[in-house]
Structure 1
Amino acid sequence: MMNAAADAQTLPLIMTQAAVTYGDKVAIKEGDNEITYAQLNDLRWQAAKAFVASGIEKGDRIAVWAPNVSPWIIASLGLESIGAVLVPLNTRMKGSEAADLINRSGAKMVFTLDTFQSGPKSVINYLDMLKQQDLPGCNEIVLFEDAADGATSWDAFLTRGDNVEQSAVEAMAANVSPDDTMDMLFTSGTTGKPKGVMCAHGQNIRTITTWADTNGLNDSDNYLIINPFFHSFGYKAGWLAAIIKGARMFPVLTFDLDAVLQQIHDDQITMLPGPPTIYQSILAHPRRAEYDLSSLRLAVTGAAPVPVELVNRMRNELNFETVVTAYGLTETCGFVSICRPDDPAEIISGSSGRAMDGIEVKIVDGQGDDMPEGEAGEIWVRGYNVMKGYFDNDQATEETITADGWLKTGDVGTMDANGYIDITDRMKDMYISGGFNVYPAEIESAICNIDGVVQAAVVGVADERMGEVGKVFIVKKADSPLTEQDVVGYCKANIANYKVPRFVEFLEAMPMNASGKILKTELRSA
């Protein structure tokens, strides 16, 4: 598929083309279960019929709060095929966090699991958490498994569509425009208030087609999708990219290094994207030599610094043909820039690549004027990948996108003579922990609800395994008995695990400037 036509595409057209082109080829392999492209196409039409039977119409929002399972893909294809809007929710959220996004997005249905064994000692009770929340606009909860009290089973949902005519859903699919909203992924800004990012069919497909063309993903690849489906990396650059290119998908439900190595060995995995920690863990595995990893071909990484030595070892010891880094935002359909496969290790390590074809990037000062080559400023982006806007938040959209179409990323970086970008700071104080964006203001707001807290400030500090982790500085009331354990315990109970600060330090007073703003630069160096 050529990029010139990609932005005139829609998800239903892409899936139809994939079914015709790849037919009996395996699309998804999940344990012993295999789904061909033809079968996946039939399943998405059945899901589309079920959505119609459920009263879902074009433009309605549907939330999915679940780990990487094949029904996640089928439900998304079905709803997007009739013009409904996918709203993925982070699986690490607590019930109140998920409910806030379900309610603010106006989602009419939620797809989830009853319970999920996320680790040896960790069970997540999604349905129980939802039952404890007030969801006035949500008409139904559907489980990607058997029914439970208060929720419909996946099979019962699909069966609901049996009486809907195929012609009806095909007509709805034909009515989906490249400019129609395809999905709404939530992100957070400096205020900590998550914002729904609306992206259209055509721009999503063109962005991901360009991304896949640049890194070389093709129909011979076996794609191990470790990145979560709720994230652009697991959804758009994951199963959507695989469908566009006809690759085989291998969803990973929970990350276990031994299981991943065994699956690379058994299924001859070729495509393995992820944060640098994945490759570092593989290289450090004491029994790595016991597994046949020779099939590995393509790695796309980022979200944390990538040492030159790691790039070289990935190429020389793991025998990756292609290792590239990339940069993007939820507001840019997930991607802005990417390295090229023939870039030297120093470029891959020291930059986030250069703009993808058809996308403009510039570095500007506080007034929006271009900065000289090599000097730091805010990164601005313009092109087909820039979001339609924030859902129900025109003010934030106008503040983020200029009148002539430039998206203000809030990230600080430099650009060299060849257009390669180096991210040097984050204007929004965001830090990245284990590949997840973490916004301090959201955590600070939660911590300030703790009895005895006067002020709280969160910063990211370096961590060898996670890239960065949170450290919170707290000024507490003079007579407060509040302890570090109290703070961490409260955070674990009220916010997603990856947001929980690793370190707590109590201060007599915050360092502040003349206007009363906390000086986080001083806290970072403390």
Structure 2
Amino acid sequence: MGPVVGRPGPVNAQRTADLRFGSQPAMALASAERFSDAPAVIDGGIELSFRDVARDLRRVAAGLVRRGVRPGDRVALWAPNSASWIVAALGVQAAGAWLVPLNTRFRGSEAAYVVERADARVLLVVDDFMGTDHVGLLREAAPDLAARTPVVRIPGPGRDDWSGFLDEGSAEDRAEVGRRIAALGPDDVSDVIFTSGTTGAPKGVLLRHGASLRAYEAYNSGFGLAEGDRHLVATPFFHCFGYKAGWMLSLLVGAATVPVAVFDAGRALADVERLRVTHVPGSPAIFTGMLDHPERPGRDLSSLRVAIVAAASFPDRLVSRMRGELGLDTVMTGYGLTENHAIGTFTLPTDPDEIVDATVGRPADGVTVRIVAPDGSEVAAGTEGELLLGGYAHMTGYLDDPEATAETLVDGWLRTGDLAVQDENGYVRITDRLKDLYIMGGFNVAPAEVERSLSAMPAIARVAVVGMPDPHFGEVGAAFVVPRPGAVVTPEEVVAYARAAMANYKVPRLVTIVDELPVNASGKVLKQRLRERLPVHH
């Protein structure tokens, strides 16, 4: 059988979200009928009800229709988490266009790459955020591109001044929006989300309306977000974790989204207390920041029930601290990648801490897993190999890149490029990215394994390990270590701990103590930046 280019698999007989609503804008309109005047978004002083979201997404769509946006056009959105991001995204889709979110940390050349690659028809952008003139950055990096790309200014966090754009559409434009929403189906493209580019040039991943809705209904079987809950979302909206597992899921189930544009642990703790937040997704850094903040003991966090930590590995004590010190009933973790609508495996609320600590759970409903050897043969339980994902959630493909699509989607399976082990009970443990492996004296070393072991050292908050060229062994490990607040640790102590904890070939030969690790907006460590800091000769 030849490569499968992301065609959705068979739909379960159960009544799933993709069949109920067909598209994300249609879901938002249905939620306006179901949840009416309940709060849907709480963004500083701005509060939108479910009816408000439905009204404003139609107005955004009508304005885009008025400006010539057609079904299948791409519209870029460059803005931080906010109420206006949600309304703008749904408005783009209601006009029949494909949403192209841009990373808020992009510099001008990075944004220009995505806008150019996506052939964006319009750019929706905040006027100013944290002193950054985004349009100015684009003009400086790519003046010709900027000159030919129409710009619509949208409000920033906690603001609602759309400078008249919401009133631009005519009655006929609004009628056209209704027709376009009705024409959308579950297999239509909803988004072009560009990969982070940590291992190469970013590629545009084509995602669908129906698979998005179905995936996060499956995710919610464990997360348990429900009508009336409050969902604090500091994870960025330009990735699926903040967008589809964040505000889209809130709209689907009737919960209120509390967008966080810039994470501050003290502010987050205050918001949990003031707004009675129930659910929080985040990276390990978000939760360690909240746990270690001096104001935490004095805050009333009794409303908190559920959190999900997005990381392939994190310190063993983090889960127990989250339960004990934040008072959480459920701490989950999981695994996914954009190419699979960011759905994959999840732990369940009933899983014990040792499962949450050591694995990324079992396959989500409708997702299948295979672990294979380099020759493509399936390996036995407990044996490491490349993780493949099957099921309905494959991307449609990479934008204008059939070769990369064919390399990733093969015979009905999605090649993740991640190494993993699956035990006899179906639980998956990610051991490393294939591309992050280094070979020390003939031994394969998985940095994630070394990082996990070093993370158990009490003085260490975070650690990242990369391979470093070595004239004798070929490559050796280099560790970058962030001490816990108030702790002091030396490179010699880290090496001594490692020697006692792991095989000699895994022990880092160079340890650097740092204040923080370079990360992207999703909390993923940018290992190429660390490699650039290594000495030329070890």
Of residues 262, 268, 290 in structure 2, which corresponds to 1:260? 268
Q: Secondary structure at the match of 2:436?
A: coil
Change in Cα spacing, 1:461 to 1:98, as seen in structure 2 (3 Å) is farther
Deviation at 1:324, TM superposition (A): 0.4
- The CA deviation at 1:214 is 2.4
Contact 2:59 2:166 in 1 (8 A): yes
**Of the candidates 79, 93, 105, which is equivalent to residue 66 of structure 1?**
79
Distance in 2 separating the partners of 1:77 and 1:337: 27
1:256-295 to 2 correspondences below 5 Å: 256-295=264-303
1:6 to 14, 17, 28: 17
Q: Is the alpha carbon distance of 1:98 and 1:165 closer, same or farther for their aligned partners in structure 2, counting shifts above 3 Å?
A: closer
Q: Structure 1 residue runs of 4+, over 6 Å off?
A: 430-433, 457-460
Query: Per-residue CA shift, 1:464-490, capped at 9, x if unaligned?
Result: 479xxxxxxxxxxxxxxxxxxxxxxxx
What SS class does the counterpart of residue 64 from structure 2 fall into? helix
State how far apart, in whole Å, the 2-side matches of 1:458 and 1:248 are: 48
Report percent identity of matched pairs: 38
Q: Where does 1:453-472 land on structure 2 (aligned, <5 Å)?
A: 461-464=479-482
Contact in 2 for aligned 1:10/1:177 (Cα 8 Å): yes
Q: How does 1:184-263 map to 2 (within 5 A)?
A: 184-187=192-195, 192-263=200-271
The alpha carbon displacement at 1:66 in A equals 1.1
**Contact 1:82–1:176 under 8 Å retained in 2:** no
Secondary structure at 1:167 match in 2: helix
Out of 29, 32, 36, which is 1:19 matched to? 32
CA distance in 2 between counterparts of 1:53 and 1:359 reads 41
Instruction: Confirm whether residue 346 of structure 1 aligns to residue 354 of structure 2.
Output: yes
CA deviation string 1:107-152 (max 9, x = no partner): 11111123211xxxxx322121012223179531122239xxxxxx
Q: Residue type of the partner of 1:374? A: G
RMSD value, Cα: 2.9
Shift of 1:463: 3.9
Match of 2:102 in 1: 89
1:343 and 1:322 map into 2 onto residues whose CA distance is: 9
Helix, strand or coil for the counterpart of 2:152? Answer: strand
C-alpha contact (below 8 Å) 2:369/2:387 kept by paired residues? yes
Equivalent residue in structure 1 for 2:423, among 416, 437, 440 = 416
Mapping 1:85-164, distance limit 5 Å: 85-117=98-130, 123-132=131-140, 133=142, 134-135=144-145, 138-145=148-155, 154-164=162-172
Larger relative CO (CA 8 A, sep 6+): 1 or 2? 2
Is the 1:22–1:246 Cα contact (8 Å) retained in structure 2?
yes
Could you tell me which runs of 5 or more consecutive residues in structure 2 were left unpaired when the two chains were aligned: 1-12, 438-446, 452-463, 467-474, 485-517
Letter in 2 for 1:51: L
Q: Runs of 5+ in structure 1 lacking a partner?
A: 118-122, 147-152, 441-456, 467-490, 509-525
Change (3 A) 1:460 1:128: farther
- Amino acid paired to 1:504: R
Q: Secondary structure at the match of 2:343?
A: coil
Residue 387 of structure 2 contacts residue 419 of structure 2 at CA under 8 Å; is this kept in 1? yes
Partner of 1:507: 536
- The correspondence for 1:378, drawn from 366, 382, 386, is 386
Counterpart for residue 7 of structure 2: none
Aligned pair in 2 of structure 1 residues 460, 415: CA closer, same or farther (>3 Å)?
A: farther
Q: Specify the code of the residue in structure 1 equivalent to 2:435.
A: K
User: Which of these residues, 410, 415, 429, is aligned with residue 436 of structure 2?
Assistant: 429
> 2: CA distance between counterparts of 1:427 and 1:465?
28
Partners of 2:326 and 2:164 lie apart in 1 by 45
Aligned residue in 1 for 2:343: 335
- Per-residue deviation, residues 60-96 of structure 1 (Å, max 9, x unmatched): 1011111112111111111112321010111111100
Task: Decide whether the 8 Å contact of 1:211 with 1:356 is kept in 2.
Answer: yes
User: Is the contact between residue 79 and residue 85 of structure 2 (CA under 8 Å) also seen in structure 1?
Assistant: yes
SS at match of 2:127: coil
Cα pair 1:301 1:324 within 8 Å, conserved: yes
Corresponding residue number in structure 1 for 2:176: 168
How much does 1:285 deviate?
1.8
Contact 2:283-2:309 within 8 A present in 1 as well: yes
Amino acid at match of 1:235: Y
Q: Does 1:78 align with 2:91?
A: yes
Contact persistence 1:225–1:251 (CA under 8 A): yes
Give the Cα separation in 2 of the matches to 1:351 and 1:181: 32
- What SS is found at the alignment partner of 1:422? strand
TM-score relative to the length of structure 2 = 0.78
Q: Distance in 1 between matches of 2:87 and 2:476?
A: 39
Aligned pairs for 1:442-481 (under 5 A) are: 461-464=479-482
Question: How many residue pairs align between the two structures?
Answer: 450
SS in 2 for 1:57: coil
Q: In the TM superposition, what is the alpha-carbon distance from 1:191 to its structure 2 partner?
A: 6.1
Q: How far does residue 400 in structure 1 lie from its aligned partner after superposition?
A: 0.6
**1:507 partner amino acid:** V
Judge conservation of contact 1:110–1:138 (CA < 8 Å) in 2. Answer: no
Name the SS of the counterpart of 2:99 in structure 1. strand
User: The residue matched to 2:342 in structure 1 has which SS?
Assistant: coil
User: Equivalents in 1 of 2:319, 2:524: separation in Å?
Assistant: 29
Task: Answer yes or no: is the 8 Å Cα contact 1:378–1:411 preserved in 2.
Answer: yes
* CA 292–189 in structure 1, closer or farther in 2 if over 3 Å, else same: closer
